[in-house]
Amino acid sequence: MASDPAATARPSHPVDPPPVRRMVPRDRNEPHRVATPLELFFDLCFVVAVGQAGRELAGSLAAGHYGDGLRGYVLAFFAIWWAWMNFTWFASAYDVDDVPYRITTLVQIAGVLILAAGVPRIFATQDLTLGIVGYLVMRLAMVTQWLRAAAGEQGPARRVALGYAAGITLCQAGWVVVLFLPQDVRLYVIPVGVLCELAVPVVAELRARTSWHPHHIAERYGLFTLIVLGETVAAATVAVQSAVDEHEELGRLVPVAAGGLLICFAAWWIYFARSVHEHLRSNRQALVWGYGHYLVFASAAAIGTGLEVAVESAVHQAHISETAATATVTVPTALYLVTVWFLHSRHTKRGAAVQSVAPAGAALVLACTALGGSGVLAAGLVCALMVAVGVLVHGRESRRAGARRAY
């Protein structure tokens, strides 16, 4: 039997891609685009920084230092979130996954770990040195990536890449200058620096946009939400375990643990109830959605912090009232519910009654603060009720849609 020349010409094994490739934009409509193992590894390294911020906030709140704790948390979590966001959107558009790209990403991870090491200093003395050094390492890698992308582009896309490189460089130079300013002057300069950081993507993509992938971006944000919620569960579990080992007051801890578990479960369910990638059609929509997730991530992590404080209050180790301890859980939970509704749910629901479920649930969660020690369990039950109502409404909508198709 004669052999097929075409068959013999084909290699028996897939050819490995070259170690260095030209960095060109990914296809915005690429099918089956999913997160890569390198992106998942990058996300996991942020757990260290998120955990540091949460622990420092818990210590401040339990001691009654609300202003200092919240101020440090807002700044530290912005630094964490912004570093993650810069990498995520770039990778969605230009991930070539070759050797230089992987090495540069590992350099960024080193910067993240330096930033994480500096988080306690931000809370304790507002010392930004390690945090800015970590950013300097990350920015060195990030600017290198954008310049490499510009080398592979032409026309408007090249100008966008160069705009990012220039904007990031200028912002980082400004943060280095901040290190040499007096402490009282920094309070006014830092918000300006934050606004400049937020303006870089807006200005860079005024005339053209990068080829970020809607489904990939939605998945990446969802995965980071899972990581933050996982850190929340871990922090609450360690707090309960330590309290039981040291104080053996299991009866007082069960309601807090049960309420916290219901809140975390509901937070997961509500976020992933509907897919949102179809909503991300343009930069205008994606900008609000992407920036709004600062509140989603920060509030989700703060729920775990609040549960730590509630556990300490239950065993009489916190220096604040039970009502204040409960508020450390109910306030971030309510903020999470409202923000997820604003970014996700309202785009997939129809009718005033359905749209009011999340805002009404958030208001009820806040009202649970007045219950003091039993407020965390009550807030968890409210969240569980919201999930049940959502399931019932979705089931009714599905039956109606099926009846219309049958008709």
Same domain, 170 and 221: no
Query: Could you tell me the two tokens for 291?
Result: 């920036």
> Does a structural domain hold residue 292?
yes
- Summarised one tens digit per residue, pLDDT across range 242-284 is 777 766 667 778 888 889 999 999 999 989 877 776 777 776 7
Residue type, 403: A
Same domain, 243 and 167: no
Domain end call among 182, 204, 226: 204
- From the list 69, 78, 184, the residue with the least C-alpha distance to 123 is 69
Same domain, 280 and 364: yes
- Non-local (6+) Cβ contacts of 381 within 8 A are 259, 262
Same domain, 297 and 219: yes
Q: How far apart are CA 293 and CA 289, in angstroms?
A: 7
Per cent of the chain over pLDDT 70 is 88
Same domain, 127 and 218: no
Same domain, 281 and 186: no
> Does a structural domain hold residue 271?
yes
- Summarised one tens digit per residue, pLDDT across range 290-345 is 899 999 999 999 999 999 898 888 888 878 899 999 999 999 999 999 999 888 76
Q: Which residue has the higher pLDDT, 356 or 110?
A: 110
Average pLDDT, the chain: 85
Same domain, 184 and 243: no
Task: Read off the DSSP letter of residue 317.
Answer: -
- What pLDDT sits at residue 251? 73
| pLDDT level of residue 107 (50, 70, 90 thresholds) | very high
Same domain, 382 and 322: yes
Domain end call among 204, 223, 255: 204
Cβ atoms of 95 and 34 within 8 Å: the answer is no
pTM of the model: 0.87
Q: Which residue do the tokens 């897919």 mark?
A: 275
Greatest mean pLDDT among 150-154, 159-163, 238-242? 159-163
> Does a structural domain hold residue 15?
no
Q: How many domains would you assign to the chain?
A: 2
Domain end call among 204, 231, 246: 204
Same domain, 137 and 237: no
Same domain, 189 and 266: no
Query: Could you tell me the two tokens for 255?
Result: 């309601």
The tally of CA atoms less than 13 A away on the side-chain side of residue 115 is 31
Same domain, 90 and 127: yes
Scored b (16 or more CB within 10 A) or e, 167-203 reads bbbebbeebeeeeeeeeeeeeeebeebbeebeebbee
Range of 69's domain?
Answer: 37-204
Same domain, 224 and 161: no
Q: Which residue has the higher pLDDT, 28 or 165?
A: 165
> Does a structural domain hold residue 8?
no
Cβ atoms of 90 and 105 within 8 Å: the answer is no
> Does a structural domain hold residue 369?
yes
> Does a structural domain hold residue 1?
no
